[in-house]
Amino acid sequence: MLDKETSLEQMVDTILEKAPEKFSFAGHSQGGWVGQALAAKAPERLETLFLMQTFTNQTPEFWEGMASWVVRMKNGELPQILDEEILPIVLHKDKLADQELVERHQRMKKRLSADIYIRQMEAMLNHKSVFEYLPKIKAPTLIIAGREDLACGLTDHELMHKHIKNSALTIIENCGHMACMEQPEAVTALMRLWLTMNHPI
Q: What is the pLDDT of residue 180?
A: 97
Give 168's strand partners. Answer: 142
Show pLDDT as tens, one digit a residue, over the chain (201 residues): 788 999 999 999 999 999 999 999 999 999 999 999 999 999 999 999 999 999 999 999 999 999 999 999 999 999 999 999 999 999 999 999 999 999 999 999 999 999 999 999 999 999 999 999 999 999 999 999 999 999 999 999 999 999 999 999 999 999 999 999 999 999 999 999 999 999 886
Taking a C-beta distance cutoff of 8 angstroms, is the pair 134, 56 a contact? yes
**Cα atoms in the Cβ-side hemisphere of radius 13 Å centred on 1:** 11
Domain ranges of the chain: 8-58+130-198, 60-122
Are 105 and 87 in contact by the 8 Å Cβ rule? The answer is yes
The whole-number pLDDT of residue 201 equals: 64
Question: What is the pLDDT, as a whole number, of residue 1?
Answer: 73
Q: pTM, whole model, 2 decimals?
A: 0.95
Q: What single-letter DSSP state applies at residue 111?
A: T
DSSP sequence for 99-110:
HHHHHHHHHHHH
Alpha helices by DSSP H, 48-183: 60-74, 78-80, 87-90, 99-110, 114-125, 154-163, 179-182
- Residue 14 has a pLDDT of 97
For residue 199, what pLDDT is reported?
86
Q: Compute the half-sphere exposure of residue 21: CA atoms within 13 Å on the CB side of its CA.
A: 0
Which fold, 8-58+130-198? Rossmann fold (3.40.50)
